Amino acid sequence: MKIKICGINRPVDVQYINQSQPDYVGFIVNFPKSHRSVDYNQLRALAGRIDAPIKKVGVFVDESAEQIAQILNEEILDIAQLHGKQEEDFIKHLRSLTNKEIWKAFAVESEDDLLQAEASSADLVLLDNKGGGTGQAFDHSLIKKFPRPYLLAGGMDEETIPLVLDRFSPMGIDTSSGTETNKKKDPKKIENIIRMVRNV
């Protein structure tokens, strides 16, 4: 079971990540509406200090494909996670500009959203709550049989992770708010969640 810790934005967070060694670390790139947003200079400085085995994921909400490809092709990031209204055409265009992995997050509000996720050409899909980074779960009863690997996101924390892993078998868990105290990353929560997910 994989684990992605999302939304780091301080040098001390890099220390927490290198100590705890999740599979993936996420950066909210150039999206100032989020308290977790980093600009491109911060992204280069922080991502450049992440230990090599940890895959670096850039979360993009309304950035152009050209801008995303440029930062991926600078080898700053390993993966682009599209978290906005990007459609299939956008993924196709981005793929023509970079060889890096492309992930797509789907806000799950109906069975139709799951059908779209199922059909996506993205390398990996995330099933998430609307908005992203809200700390709230979507209605998990909508997930019946989801026929491709996925990361489960939205409101994943020390209480909810054991409950969802009893019911579902995602490829991994993505969490942001569940690893924070007062909107800052909390090393104890990061360690506990990684241990919990790896023990499954």
Ligand X SMILES: O=C(O)c1ccccc1NCC(=O)[C@H](O)[C@H](O)COP(=O)(O)O
Which residues would be at the binding site for ligand X (CB under 6 A)? 6-7, 26, 28, 31, 34, 36, 59, 61, 83, 128, 132-135, 153-156, 174-178
Using the minimum distance from each CB to ligand X, give the nearer residue, 22 or 132: 132
Using the minimum distance from each CB to ligand X, give the nearer residue, 59 or 143: 59
Extract the runs of DSSP E, i.e. beta strands, from the chain: 2-6, 24-29, 37-38, 55-60, 79-82, 101-107, 124-128, 150-153, 172-175, 180-181, 184-185
- Phi and psi, residue 158, nearest 5°: -60, -30
Instruction: For residue 8, give Cα distances in angstroms to 39, 57, 106, 137, 151.
Output: 12, 11, 21, 20, 18
Measured CA to CA, the distance from residue 45 to residue 116 in angstroms comes to 36
**Residue nearest ligand X, Cβ-based:** 133
Measured CA to CA, the distance from residue 174 to residue 182 in angstroms comes to 19
Using the minimum distance from each CB to ligand X, give the nearer residue, 25 or 94: 25
Measured CA to CA, the distance from residue 112 to residue 102 in angstroms comes to 21
- Least distance (Å) from ligand X to the CB of residue 52? 22
- Least distance (Å) from ligand X to the CB of residue 131? 7
Using the minimum distance from each CB to ligand X, give the nearer residue, 69 or 177: 177
Using the minimum distance from each CB to ligand X, give the nearer residue, 76 or 132: 132
- Least distance (Å) from ligand X to the CB of residue 114? 17
- Least distance (Å) from ligand X to the CB of residue 78? 15
Q: 3-state class of 153 per DSSP?
A: strand
- Least distance (Å) from ligand X to the CB of residue 110? 18
